[in-house]
């Protein structure tokens, strides 16, 4: 399983140092061989020397460096050996106004660098209510190389993110099947995943892992979720 933590706009450099230490210690020796832990901290908090998990970037600009005020380029990620990136998160699409065109540019740039890409898709509440999830997600996948070898796809319905209302297993399975028909990439589910519902989510056929927001912001709660996920696979 891939267990990924999206810390969003939470954690300072000092608090993430404590988080990374606690996670590293908690994972030492205790993680199942087929599990992989990814953590996306704020870029200002990347830290050196983590051992038992991979750090990724929540955002970047599709350039190595240059005149892009406020942005983070490839050079800045390389300094921390960050080679895993999130692209297409619904908060970047909706709150930061990232267009489909910019998202495609980011994807092409990241693929040209050979980075691992966690690409997020998911329908909004209206599309879900009208049973148009597949059409909505298909549009988000246009122009994206679904055969890119270092791709991970995350199905994250917008209405389930940060709401405490995770999608039902039937909906998750249906959308993962839809994605599986298009791509060989590992498939994650994200949207209000926590230590209580992880067992049900892990049991969904075709689910290769989870992308966790709120329940990952505290290292001990993320560790609890990780061990709940391995318990349910025993």
Tokens of 155: 């199905």
The mark string for 162-201 relative to ligand PGA (x by CB under 6 A, - otherwise) is x---------------------------xxxx--------
Residue 89 designated active-site: yes
Residue 11 designated active-site: no
Q: In angstroms, what is the minimal distance from the CB of 75 to ligand PGA?
A: 26
Maximal C-alpha separation, the chain? 51
Which of the following is catalytic: 36, 71, 156, 173?
156
Complex with ligand PGA: residue 74 or 191, whichever CB lies closer: 191
Complex with ligand PGA: residue 110 or 154, whichever CB lies closer: 154
The mark string for 5-44 relative to ligand PGA (x by CB under 6 A, - otherwise) is -x--------------------------------------
Stretch that binds ligand PGA, among 55-63, 110-118, 179-187, 211-219 (CB under 6 A): 211-219
The Cα-based distances of 191 to 149, 169, 216 in angstroms read 25, 12, 12
Tokens of 153: 């796809």
For ligand PGA, the binding residues in 122-161 under the rule CB under 6 A are: 156, 161
Which of the following is catalytic: 89, 91, 98, 123?
89
Q: In angstroms, what is the minimal distance from the CB of 133 to ligand PGA?
A: 17
Would you say 40 and 4 are in contact if contact means Cβ atoms under 8 Å apart? yes
Report the C-alpha gap between 223 and 220 in whole angstroms.
Answer: 5
The Cα-based distances of 138 to 48, 83, 179 in angstroms read 38, 26, 9
Using CB atoms, what's the residue nearest to ligand PGA?
213
Helix H or strand E segment including 40: strand 36-40
Q: In angstroms, what is the minimal distance from the CB of 180 to ligand PGA?
A: 20
DSSP β-bridge partners for residue 209: 2, 188
Complex with ligand PGA: residue 38 or 211, whichever CB lies closer: 211
Choosing from 212, 219, 225, 226, the residue that interacts with ligand PGA (CB under 6 A) is 212
The 3-state DSSP composition of the chain as helix, strand, coil percent (nearest 5) reads 40, 15, 45
Q: Strands of 151-155's sheet, edge to edge?
A: 54-55, 36-40, 2-6, 209-212, 187-190, 151-155, 116-121, 84-87
Count helices and strands in the chain by DSSP H and E runs: 9, 8
Interface residue list for ligand PGA (CB under 6 A)? 6, 156, 161-162, 190-193, 211-215
Catalytic positions, written as ranges? 89, 156
């Amino acid at each position: 399983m891939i267990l990924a933590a999206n810390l969003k706009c939470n954690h300072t450099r000092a608090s993430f140092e404590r988080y990374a230490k606690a996670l590293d210690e908690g994972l030492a020796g205790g993680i199942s061989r087929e599990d992989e832990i990814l953590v996306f901290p704020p870029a200002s908090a990347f830290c050196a020397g983590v051992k038992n998990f991979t750090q990724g970037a929540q955002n970047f600009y599709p350039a190595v460096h240059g005149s892009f005020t406020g942005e983070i380029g490839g050079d800045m990620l390389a300094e921390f050996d960050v080679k895993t990136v999130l692209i297409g998160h619904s908060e970047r699409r909706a709150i930061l106004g990232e267009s489909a065109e910019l998202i495609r540019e980011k994807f092409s740039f990241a693929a040209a660098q050979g980075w691992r890409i966690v690409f997020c898709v998911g329908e909004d509440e209206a599309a879900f209510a009208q049973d148009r999830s597949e059409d909505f997600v298909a549009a988000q996948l246009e122009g994206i190389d679904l055969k890119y070898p270092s791709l991970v796809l995350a199905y994250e319905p917008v209405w389930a993110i940060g709401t405490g209302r995770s999608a039902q297993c039937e909906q998750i399975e249906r959308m993962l099947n839809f994605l599986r028909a298009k791509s060989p990439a590992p498939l994650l589910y994200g949207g209000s995943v926590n230590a209580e519902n992880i067992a049900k989510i892990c049991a969904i056929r075709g689910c290769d892992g989870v992308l966790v927001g709120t329940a990952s912001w505290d290292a001990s709660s993320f560790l609890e979720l990780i061990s709940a996920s391995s318990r349910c696979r025993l």
